[in-house]
Amino acid sequence: MDRLVIEGGFRLKGEVTVSGAKNSVLPVLAATLLTDDTCVIKDVPNLRDTNTMLKILRSLGKQVEYHKGIVTVSSNKCLNFVADYKLVSTMRASFCVLGPLLGRFRKARVSLPGGCVIGLRPVDLHIKGIRSLGAEVRVEGGYVIAEARRLRGSRMYLGGAFGSSVLATDNVMMAAVMAKGKTVIEAAACEPEVTDLADFLIKMGARIKGHGTPIIEIEGVDKLHGAIHKIIPDRIEAGTMMIAALITGGDLTIKNVLFQHQGALLDKLEEAGAIIKRFDSSLRVTRKGRLKPINVTTLPYPGFPTDMQAQIMSLMSITAGISVITEKIFPDRFMHVAELNRMGAHIQREGPHAIVEGVKGLSGAQVMASDLRASASLLLAGLAAKGKTSVSRIYHLERGYENIEKKIIELGGNIWREKE
């Protein structure tokens, strides 16, 4: 197993291009199960999670080719409807094969998911949604087993204790596109990744309206066909690079960015004193002098993304003054706090709040990544720290950031791998 070593103190400068969105490509790949026709997906990032999903598709009988960011998915034999524990247990997003398997075959057997340790994330909304479509669902031996003679459209409410669920919305949408009649999803997730999936399904022949709003309407069709689709840019990678520029006092031009996906983050960074210049599909991020502390509350889209909470905490840890960061999506998503404090940060957790008292500087230390975004926050902290920072369990980082080391090195950072 490798660890990542970062020598801090280098300003990042130059241009960097954002890869395709991890949280978009995984359900889009799952949606190819809805047809035997060939689907071509472009701008697919080479990530651990992407490769896991490709393995799942192959295990279900799909023929998959992946070359230079383009995935071609086709069928040359009968598909099976059992998504095995060994693969699904490693990545929560793989649970989104449940919807297309049920929609296509009227039956599915999918292992309960795994993924990052960021607090309890039950699948009750997924089950509620597909039951509303007429499926019988039971949990048995660690698997969700769903069956239906015929799926029928219905009206359902998918709001949960902490807001809407992106994966549940994805699963229900994919199950409903070939259900008989009309389905209305209330309290649907509005995230750009849900919209990207809906756009792909529409290209395949689905009839969907309202995606990107809290009410999605789906009129079932008998059959879907193949399609070509380009994945949207990864808004979380773009945000992480924005903070990399600020935390190192650097000057980065970040290419392949959709501004409409970044509103809440840009607002908070500019409130902190960042200088952000917008171009056609890129941003230039710099700072002049010291940043100011800010208060951040994570919320469902278009609110501040929970996937940027750990990274903004790293930035605030060296910003003079007191910042309060409140986590309203996953209240236990604070595993990175203890590791940042090992580097000299002054962060105190009080329930869903983190009180961050900015320090003059961080010191390199041996730290451990607990999840994907925590690993990004530790990488950012290491870039700003004095001395060397060693980050263990970097397989988390590999799940969501394509060629992150190469990109950092090309921008002037000093970062390398070592064997544990």
* Domains of the chain with CATH codes: 2-18+233-419 (3.65.10.10), 22-230 (3.65.10.10)
Beta strands in 256-309 (DSSP E): 274-278, 282-287, 296-297
Is the model's pLDDT at 161 over the cut of 90? no
End-to-end CA distance of the chain: 6
Residue 346 token pair: 């002054």
pLDDT band at 116 (very low <50, low <70, confident <90, very high): very low
For the ranges 203-207, 210-214, 416-420, the lowest mean pLDDT is seen at 416-420
Q: DSSP character for 84?
A: -
Q: DSSP character for 292?
A: -
- Summarize pLDDT for 288-347 with one digit per residue, the tens: 989 999 999 999 999 999 999 999 999 999 999 999 999 999 888 999 999 999 999 999
- Note the residue count of the chain: 420
Instruction: Identify whether the C-beta of residue 98 lies closer than 8 Å to the C-beta of residue 131.
Output: no
Cα separation, 16 vs 4, in Å, equals 20
Is the model's pLDDT at 249 over the cut of 60? yes
- What mean pLDDT is predicted for residues 186-206? 98
- What mean pLDDT is predicted for residues 167-191? 97
| pLDDT score recorded for residue 162 | 79
Cα separation, 294 vs 297, in Å, equals 10
Cα separation, 107 vs 121, in Å, equals 24
Backbone dihedral region for residue 341 (phi beyond 0: left; psi -120 to 50: alpha; all else: beta): alpha
Instruction: Identify whether the C-beta of residue 117 lies closer than 8 Å to the C-beta of residue 335.
Output: yes
Residues with active-site annotation: 116
Sign of the CA dihedral with 165 first, then 168, 174, and 176 last: negative
| pLDDT score recorded for residue 322 | 98
Closest-CA residue to 12 (of 212, 213, 175, 242): 242
Instruction: Identify whether the C-beta of residue 252 lies closer than 8 Å to the C-beta of residue 284.
Output: yes
Sign of the CA dihedral with 212 first, then 182, 23, and 282 last: negative
Cα separation, 23 vs 356, in Å, equals 29
Is the model's pLDDT at 120 over the cut of 50? no
| pLDDT score recorded for residue 213 | 98
- Summarize pLDDT for 41-90 with one digit per residue, the tens: 999 999 999 999 999 999 999 999 999 999 999 997 778 888 877 787 77
| pTM, 2 dp | 0.95
